Amino acid sequence: MIAPPDRENGAPSPFGAPPRHEGHPPHLRPVGIVSYGFYVPRYRIRTETIAQVWGHDGPQTAANLNVRQKSVPGPDEDVATISVEATRQAIDRVGFDPRRVGAIYVGSESHPYAVKPTGTILAAAIGAGPELTAADFEFACKAGTAAMQTAMGLVRSSMVDTALVVAADTSQGAPRNALEYSASAGGAAFLIGSEDIIASLNHTVSFTTDTPDFWRREGQKYPSHGERFTGRPAFFRHVKACAERMMAAMESTPDDYQHAVFHQPNGKFPVNIAKQLGFTMDQIQTGLLAPKIGNTYSAAAPLGLAAVLDIAAPGDRVFVTGYGSGAGSDAFDITVTDAIVDYRKKKSRTVEEHLAKTVDLDYSTYAKYRGKIILGD
């Protein structure tokens, strides 16, 4: 049993109290999701296709990971293009004036540039700014949820009218490494604002320690990881602690939520943690996308949330917990509002529809698209 993080008994939570305890403070605005969009590249490579190359047992690998296939970006796609496509869907759906966006945060561990923001490319592509603040976030797979927390703060405090948060990745796993079976690509975008909210962001808490379970050094093409160390002391410890703190703060139990979304480094971990916390398969089914598209890293929990928002009813409560190696977990308590009904009348593709049209790749084409082939020049 791993000890919970050290904390003096009785010390107040640094996250403050959720609004439901004290009423809505007059100096803070409500905050929530105004619109959302998503993009997953259409290419897929099957777990068995990868396994065949390395002499692994394909069906067994797919079953162990609960990942049948993963998404692969095309040669003309990266985090910037995925971010733009996801954001355009969010903006076009509600006819949002991009000049109202006061902050753009893109969370990713695979930004196209090491130095030079993705957010500025996104801003230019949607016609936002120049009066806005932008920055790229990096915290392994939870860069997007961390960006969402920052956006919540800016909107709640009236520092910006609306913030745009994008979680996107085109993550890479080294050839033959276990990561190669899951590291995939996708993105989700959220307009975070105070008016016309379709889902209220009630509260957020985080749980963060220095746990080197997965990393990529500057200049390295592929990440490294601590193998089985990525499990119990990393993913499970942080997600569980964070989720428990959220339910403690909200005085809620799993039964209070219609939907739950967990980070999904594969298709197995989120199912396992859901059970540990007392959530059912019914609650996590809609947001569980890893079996179909692999681990979209920063986008994994946000894409799951998008899938839930596609179908959730007014009043539904959604429990979202992201995880990023290194390590930390961010949890969100969300309530879908009545506005979702009118929002859904503005027709746009659903996650399910978007994932329905795919093109299977063989390993060599996948290797070419992902720059895994050493060229002579």
Q: Which residues are catalytic?
A: 109, 141, 263
Q: How far is the CB of 371 from another protein (least distance, A)?
A: 8
Q: Does the footprint of another protein cover residue 84 (CB under 8 A)?
A: yes
Which window, 73-81, 159-167, 274-282, 328-336, contacts another protein (CB under 8 A)? 73-81
**CA-CA distance, 358 to 274, in Å (whole number)?**
29
62-77 burial code (b ≥16 CB/10 A, e <16): beebbbbbbbbbeeeb
CA nearest 238: which of 149, 325, 332?
325
| Residues 186 and 38 sit within 8 Å (Cβ to Cβ) | yes
Among 49, 272, 350, 358, binds another protein (CB under 8 A): 358
* Distance of closest approach, residue 23 Cβ to another protein, in angstroms: 43
**Rounded least distance, CB 360 to another protein, Å:** 7
- Cβ at position 127, least distance to another protein in Å: 6
Is 44 near another protein (CB under 8 A)?
A: yes
* Torsion angle in degrees (nearest 10) through CA of 346, 74, 357, 355: -60
Please check whether residue 191 is in contact with residue 34, taking contact to mean a CB–CB distance below 8 angstroms: yes
- Cβ distance to another protein smaller for residue 30 or 74: 74
Taking CB under 8 A as the binding criterion, the range among 71-79, 133-141, 159-167, 185-193 that sits at the site for another protein is: 71-79
Rounded to whole angstroms, the Cα distance separating 328 from 205 reads 11
80 lies in the site for another protein, by CB under 8 A: yes
Whether 37 contacts 88, CB under 8 Å: yes
> 12, 357, 374, 376: which one contacts another protein (CB under 8 A)?
357
Taking the C-alpha atoms of residue 336 and residue 47, their distance in angstroms, rounded to an integer, is 35
Q: What are phi and psi of 139, to 5 degrees?
A: -155, 70
Q: What does the per-residue mask of binding to another protein show for 167-196, with x meaning CB under 8 A?
A: ------------------------------
Binding residue count for another protein, defined by CB under 8 A: 29
> Is 85 a binder of another protein (CB under 8 A)?
yes
Residues numbered 208 to 267 that lie near another protein (CB under 8 A) are none
78 part of the interface to another protein, by CB under 8 A: yes
Task: Return the residue of 34, 90, 91, 121 that touches another protein, per CB under 8 A.
Answer: 121
309 vs 336: CA distance, rounded Å: 8
* Contact between 350 and another protein per CB under 8 A: no
Q: Which of 77, 138, 169, 333: binder of another protein (CB under 8 A)?
A: 77
Residues 6+ apart with CB under 8 A from 228: none
Local structure of 43: helix, strand or coil: strand
Give me the helix-helix angle, 79-94 and 118-126, nearest 10°.
40
Kindly list the residues in this chain that would bind another protein in the complex (CB under 8 A): 42, 44, 69, 74-78, 80-81, 84-85, 88, 112-113, 121, 124-127, 292, 355-360, 368-369
